[in-house]
Structure 1
Amino acid sequence: MIFSKITDLLGNTPVIQLPLTQADSRLYIKVEKNNPGSSMKDRMARNMIVAALKYGRIQPGEMIVESSSGNTVIGLALASIEFGLKFIAVVDNMQLRTKYPSCARWGLRSVMLKVDYGENEVAVIERQRMAAEIASEISGAIFMNQSDNAANAGGYADLVREIVHQIGRVDAWVDCVGTGDSITGIAHGLKVHNPDTVIIAIEPEGSIVFSKPGKPYYQSGTGTPEGDTIGLVLDYSCIDYGEQVSDAYAFETARYLAQRFGLLVGGSTGGAIYKTLELIGKRIIKDNVTLVLVDGGEKYLHTIFNEEWLKERDLTAPEIWDQLDNWFASSTILECKS
């Protein structure tokens, strides 16, 4: 098949089934890092732009502005090229060495927010304020505001259709939660096909989505940091369980998956997989359990896959490898579905 533009490669990502010791459960992972921008955020980024063009909020040649932890910036950059738009990204220290460098190669303009924050802190409120301010000062520009943009969650309709086609009934869906776009859009879609689908939302320890105490955390692109507000996109009514995972367990699981299965995943996906296995082990969820590989570990080789970096920050947890071995069966990847 021959395509005419990069965004034609969006979607239709494969599903991998990993082997479990629990005979009554199957673990399916949709490999969203195979999207052209290497994450699931490509879907919602393009959908927000399509909606803005459809309803006349923006015209070709005009400017969009967005604040993002990285993956949304990449998706918006690709969609902006497709539709002939200009794009300014407002970023902070957490994106500099991970996701942002790839955007610069596409000619993306950026505004680096200079604030006195630690490397495990994100300046979400300040980023959003600056993005809105920049958009208000440029004629014809709009602030996409992904946290409150209804087209955000709507960007995952195709993903739901793909999953149902690939594996059939979904009994449990596990997803990271931050702005709430993916878990809201996917949960509503899956429940149309199976109203009994159990929805599990995972946030980092330190995130405030489920009103737990806030503190800094290193997991990127997930959760809501202390001091920020929960986005209007998030629909709590579609979530059955809210769980937290530590940075150390998330990163250690990502490293385990790379060495055991050759599967490079980002830290938030590592955390989601750890909690999924824990919940399967406790018999809270079973049968067809599904989640997404949000983005690839290639963006984090200098951090979560760097032993020295982890030890300097006390982010190692080698004790969980035995538990992971107990959860996974001895065979290799069972199946890959296109």
Structure 2
Amino acid sequence: MIQTKVTNLIGNTPLLELPVAAPNVRFLLKIEKNNPGGSMKDRMARSMVLAAIKEGRLCEGGTIVESSSGNTGIGLAIVAAELGLRFIAVVDHHAAPDKLAVMRAMGAELRFVDGEYAEDEVAVVERQRLAAELGANIPGAIFMNQSDNPANPAGYQGFVDELIAQTGGEVNAFCGCTGTGGSLSGIARGLKKFNPAIRTVGVEPKGSIVFGQPGHAYYQSGTGTPKGDEVGKVLDYDVIDIGTQVGDAEAFETARYVAQNCGLLVGGSTGGAIYAALEHIHAGKIGGTVVCTVADGGEKYLHTVFDEKWLAARDLLNTGVWRQLAQWMPLARPYAAHPELIEDVA
């Protein structure tokens, strides 16, 4: 079908099955990096903007303001460009440079927060403050406030509907990153409405405070809630069965393992979600058909997550993670095991 709007390309993302060394388990990745902005955040960006227009809070020629580490900003930039709206993204040094470049390319205006912050420190509190200030002071502007905006989780109903259709309703567990909690809560709520027995796993970086652990700095981008910030109102703990944490090294090494063994580039936070899913599968905490989101692609992290010099300088290389993953998910296979490749070439 030929589409006439880029936002019509959002959704209908495919599933990819990866092998796991666990009996009676099917491990599926939903490839949300295939959305036009390269992440699952396109879904909620569209949802928030359309809700604001419908409610009369955003008018023709108006201005969208949002604090973002990158993916939400890219999604909002797409919608703003399509609807002729101005978009101001409030960002900090923690955002991947490639994400900032994409936002600029789509016409977004970037406002960096002031202050001195460590490299692994997220300035989300100051970002939120500045975004709220701009939204209040610019005529015709609205601060989207994804952390507290109910249109954030509501934007993921399409994800749920797709997943149920793609699997024939055979979903036993879902594992996803926990940032504002909008995607995890929206998806978990929808899945449990379909089948209350589905187990849901929320994954945050070590150092995030979402699940009550002590806060400290971390490198994973666009996920978790840093120390000093408040957990967003969109997060619904009632639909999350397991809250777990993954360290930066485990997350990044998993992303690199998947890239080098199956040819799929995933972002660092997705590496963390995959690691957590495999860990819980092999601990017997989840099983059957387990689905994990590829929240975004690794193309935005080539100079960080996939750069060994960058990782080594920050003590984030860990070959032990690869050995563990090789036991959990033996992806590398002999060429002879793929006769279909020879047939395709022929």
Say whether the fold is shared (TM-score over 0.5). Answer: yes
Between 1:36-45 and 1:95-104, the stretch displaced more is 95-104
Relative contact order, higher structure (CA 8 A, sep 6+): 1
Deviations 1:97-149 (A, max 9, x none): 13111111111111111220111111111001101111111112110000000
Spell out the pairing of 1:1-338 with structure 2 (5 A cutoff). 1-95=1-95, 97-167=97-167, 168-329=169-330
Instruction: Return the TM-score normalized by structure 1.
Output: 0.97
Question: Matched residues in 2 for 1:330 and 1:59: separation?
Answer: 50
Structure 1 residues 324 and 96: alpha-carbon distance in aligned structure 2, compared to 1, 3 A threshold? closer
Identical aligned residues as a percent? 55
- Contact persistence 2:81–2:107 (CA under 8 A): no
- Unaligned stretches of 5+ residues in structure 2: 339-346
CA drift at 1:259: 0.5
Question: Matched residues in 1 for 2:266 and 2:175: separation?
Answer: 15
Question: Matched residues in 2 for 1:263 and 1:140: separation?
Answer: 42
Deviations 1:173-205 (A, max 9, x none): 101111000011000100121110001110000
- Unaligned stretches of 5+ residues in structure 1: none
CA drift at 1:96: 5.3
Q: Secondary structure at the match of 1:126?
A: helix
Question: Matched residues in 2 for 1:42 and 1:259: separation?
Answer: 27
Equivalent AA in structure 1 for residue 55 of structure 2: Y
- Contact persistence 1:19–1:331 (CA under 8 A): no
CA drift at 1:67: 0.5
Equivalent AA in structure 2 for residue 41 of structure 1: K
Between 1:76-85 and 1:10-19, the stretch displaced more is 76-85
Question: Matched residues in 2 for 1:13 and 1:330: separation?
Answer: 22
Q: Secondary structure at the match of 1:147?
A: coil
Question: Matched residues in 1 for 2:218 and 2:192: separation?
Answer: 32
Deviations 1:35-94 (A, max 9, x none): 000000000000000000001001110111100111000000001112221111101001
CA drift at 1:20: 1.2
Q: Secondary structure at the match of 1:99?
A: helix
Structure 1 residues 330 and 71: alpha-carbon distance in aligned structure 2, compared to 1, 3 A threshold? closer
- Contact persistence 2:262–2:332 (CA under 8 A): no
Question: Matched residues in 2 for 1:329 and 1:133: separation?
Answer: 50
RMSD: 1.3
Question: Matched residues in 2 for 1:323 and 1:66: separation?
Answer: 39
Between 1:78-87 and 1:295-304, the stretch displaced more is 78-87
Aligned residues: 334
Between 1:305-314 and 1:81-90, the stretch displaced more is 81-90
- Contact persistence 1:258–1:264 (CA under 8 A): yes
- Contact persistence 2:65–2:141 (CA under 8 A): yes
- Contact persistence 1:169–1:194 (CA under 8 A): no
